[in-house]
């Protein structure tokens, strides 16, 4: 491949390692936000009186908007400068964080998370594309390793930080903490981060060759948003038979013949996705700028790697959504204590993230990802088997260390594996696509986990009668936080034990669901390793 003029300049930039520090801090800001909310969620539910559906939206809407806008924001960064988009994203993120911290109810908090998702979508591809454009050769591999380790480490540290802030101050501080971090990032970005852009493509120099693909952005955003919306709302509206009508601006929308509106929403989402793919093919045939270059999926490692990343994200974020609810509501831990248990993941991730480069030096990056995912499956699978209302927290912690060790190994190498065979002039597209795959997975992860949790509680609760049935419904509607209030009311031990067992069984089902997706990710990683040797 012919080198573009000046393509080696970024490698000689003396600011590149300082820039990497700023980019890593930017990445940790948005990844922390994805996991820091989870451990504080029980307190948020209790304080703002959230339903389980509202709780899922607080946890998932950020990732829904994030994933819907990533492809467009990656293109905006390619055109107007990645540092420019990074700084705009930071301002949006910090401003919406203040809004979230001041929220007085479900609506204001969910809207703030909506804007946070926009900010995060501008930040993520800017960090990865800038790393890809700034580093070359062995330095690029090292930078990707650091990027992946920061991603896994920040996701694991989030629960501890969230627990400490919630216990020492209040849940609102999990959002306020973003303000000083955002200020540091803006100062560092202006000082050290180059404002890189994509090289112009001569083949797209027609009259409309450089127009932004707005129809593609609307189609993809609508598709991903509706699919995740359908999954989330299925817990309250019903998967097939209607439980409740869909309410929009005070109006009730019913499905036909007593059916839920959810299947129709999912069908529209899938149809929009098909239209998006057809539209992108049309633009490519007419030599117009596309939002998603579908030819990238002809690269086997890229195709299988993105499927792996999406499946793994579903499993990982499903766990992060469920486990804090179990620890706080069933085990009666404080948010700080729950964070201390969950920090075991961080310990494993930090150790393995640092060692991942050396392991990859012996096994190669694809087999290193396989090893990491195998450890994740083992750690989480055993955890799901042993989870009990009064089980050993030491055993839970040890298994989270195993899981975190695998998480660190896999995350540190998966990004470089996905992008390994992508041509340099298409790295911006590749970066945005793999980020989108991860974020779609994280949104679906919390949604699927919440649906499994709520569905299992409903199924078990249907066998209860009288006062126990009413309490089971309260546990369902409050995502488990009602258990804390029942303990304070000194509910009879046998009755409370039944409710704890119900919530624990539902948590186990949800965690087994996470394991299922991790197994799919492991199978995908094995396929990546196979095609990478072909």
Residue 328: pLDDT band by 50, 70, 90 thresholds? Answer: confident
CA 320 to chain centre: 10
Same domain, 136 and 274: no
Same domain, 299 and 280: no
Residue 71: inside a domain:
yes
> Measuring CA to CA, how many Å separate 513 from each of 55, 373, 405?
19, 15, 20
Last residue of a domain, one of 288, 320, 336: 288
Average pLDDT on 7-36 reads 74
Same domain, 74 and 98: yes
CA 436 – CA 71 distance, rounded (Å): 7
Predicted confidence at residue 502, as pLDDT, reads 93
Same domain, 299 and 352: yes
More confident residue, 268 or 246: 268
Same domain, 241 and 97: no
Residue 189: pLDDT band by 50, 70, 90 thresholds? Answer: very high
Count how many domains the chain has. Answer: 2
Could you give the percent of the chain with pLDDT greater than 70? 88
Predicted confidence at residue 206, as pLDDT, reads 38
Most confidently modeled of 201-205, 282-286, 463-467?
282-286
Q: Is the pLDDT of residue 205 over 70?
A: no
Secondary structure of 133-159 as H, E, C letters: HHCCHHHHHHHHHHHHHHHHHHHHHHH
Last residue of a domain, one of 288, 305, 321: 288
Give pLDDT tens digits for 471-522: 888 888 777 878 878 887 877 778 888 899 999 999 999 999 999 999 999 9
Give pLDDT tens digits for 60-81: 677 678 777 877 887 788 788 8
More confident residue, 492 or 453: 453
In terms of residue numbers, what domain contains 250? 213-288
Same domain, 37 and 152: yes
Nearest Cα neighbor of 272 from 218, 213, 212, 214 is 218
Residue 1: inside a domain:
no
Consecutive H or E run containing 522: helix 493-532
Give pLDDT tens digits for 336-386: 788 788 778 777 877 776 677 778 778 888 898 899 999 999 999 999 999
Secondary structure of 297-336 as H, E, C letters: HHCHHHHHHHHHHHHHHHHHHHHHHHHHHHHHHCCCCCHH
Give pLDDT tens digits for 65-123: 877 787 788 778 878 888 999 999 999 999 999 999 999 988 899 999 999 989 988 98
Could you give the percent of the chain with pLDDT greater than 90? 23
Residue 12: pLDDT band by 50, 70, 90 thresholds? Answer: low
Same domain, 267 and 398: no
Same domain, 264 and 306: no
Q: Is the pLDDT of residue 211 over 70?
A: no
Question: What is the phi-psi region of residue 170: left when phi exceeds 0, alpha when psi lies from -120 to 50, beta otherwise?
Answer: beta
Residue 6: inside a domain:
no
Q: Is the pLDDT of residue 258 over 80?
A: yes
Compute the residue count for the chain. Answer: 534
Same domain, 277 and 297: no
Predicted confidence at residue 353, as pLDDT, reads 65
Same domain, 410 and 276: no
Same domain, 398 and 515: yes
Average pLDDT on 405-420 reads 80
Residue 493: inside a domain:
no
Average pLDDT on 435-441 reads 77
| 80-85 CB contacts, 8 Å cutoff, 24+ apart | 80/197, 81/195, 81/196, 81/197, 82/125, 82/126, 82/129, 82/130, 82/133, 82/195, 82/196, 82/197, 83/126, 83/130, 83/189, 83/193, 83/194, 83/195, 83/196, 84/195, 85/122, 85/123, 85/125, 85/126
Predicted confidence at residue 35, as pLDDT, reads 66
Last residue of a domain, one of 242, 262, 288: 288
CB 43 within 8 A of CB 172: no
């Amino acid at each position: 491949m012919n080198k573009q003029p000046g393509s080696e300049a970024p490698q000689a930039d003396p600011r590149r390692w300082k820039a990497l520090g700023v980019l890593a801090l930017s990445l940790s800001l948005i990844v922390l936000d994805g996991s820091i909310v989870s451990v504080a969620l029980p307190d948020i539910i209790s304080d703002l009186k959230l339903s389980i559906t509202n709780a899922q939206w607080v946890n998932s809407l950020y990732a829904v908007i994030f994933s819907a806008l990533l492809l467009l924001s990656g293109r905006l960064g390619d055109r107007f400068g990645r540092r420019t988009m990074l700084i705009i994203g930071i301002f949006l993120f910090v401003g919406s964080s203040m809004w979230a911290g001041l929220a007085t109810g479900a609506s204001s908090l969910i809207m703030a998370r909506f804007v946070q998702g926009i900010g995060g979508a501008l930040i993520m591809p800017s960090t990865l594309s800038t790393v890809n454009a700034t580093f070359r050769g062995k330095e690029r591999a090292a930078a990707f390793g650091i990027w992946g380790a920061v991603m896994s480490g920040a996701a694991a540290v989030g629960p501890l930080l969230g627990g400490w802030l919630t216990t020492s101050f209040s849940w609102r501080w999990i959002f306020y903490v973003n303000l000083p971090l955002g200020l540091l990032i803006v100062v560092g970005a202006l000082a050290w981060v180059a404002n890189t852009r994509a090289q112009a493509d001569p083949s797209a120099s027609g009259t409309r060759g450089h127009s932004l693909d707005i129809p593609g952005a609307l189609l993809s955003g609508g598709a991903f948003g509706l699919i995740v919306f359908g999954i989330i709302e299925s817990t309250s509206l019903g998967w097939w038979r209607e439980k409740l009508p869909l309410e929009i601006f005070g109006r009730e929308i019913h499905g036909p013949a007593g059916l839920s509106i959810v299947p129709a929403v999912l069908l529209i989402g899938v149809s929009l996705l098909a239209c998006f793919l057809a539209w992108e093919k049309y633009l490519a045939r007419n030599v117009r700028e596309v939002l998603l270059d579908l030819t990238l999926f002809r690269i086997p490692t890229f195709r299988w790697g993105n499927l792996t990343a999406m499946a793994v994200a579903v499993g990982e974020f499903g766990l992060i959504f469920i486990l804090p609810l179990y620890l706080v509501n069933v085990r009666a831990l404080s948010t700080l204590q729950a964070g201390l248990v969950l920090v075991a993941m961080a310990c494993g991730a930090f150790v393995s993230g640092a060692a991942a480069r050396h392991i990859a030096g012996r096994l190669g990056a694809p087999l290193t990802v396989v090893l990491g995912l195998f450890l994740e499956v083992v750690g989480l699978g055993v955890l799901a088997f042993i989870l009990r209302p009064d089980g050993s927290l030491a055993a839970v912690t040890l298994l989270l260390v195993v899981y975190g060790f695998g998480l660190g190994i896999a995350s540190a190498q998966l990004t470089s594996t996905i992008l390994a065979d992508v041509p340099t002039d298409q790295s911006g597209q590749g970066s945005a696509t793999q980020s989108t795959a991860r974020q779609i997975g994280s949104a679906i992860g919390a949604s699927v986990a919440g649906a499994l949790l709520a569905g299992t509680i409903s199924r078990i609760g249907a066998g209860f009668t009288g006062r126990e049935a009413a309490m089971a419904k309260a546990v369902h509607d409050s995502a488990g936080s009602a258990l804390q209030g029942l303990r304070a009311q000194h509910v009879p031990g046998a009755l409370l034990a039944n409710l704890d067992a119900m919530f624990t069984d539902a948590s186990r089902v949800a965690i087994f669901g996470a394991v299922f997706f991790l197994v799919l990710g492991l199978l995908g990683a094995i396929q990546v390793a196979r095609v990478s040797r072909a």
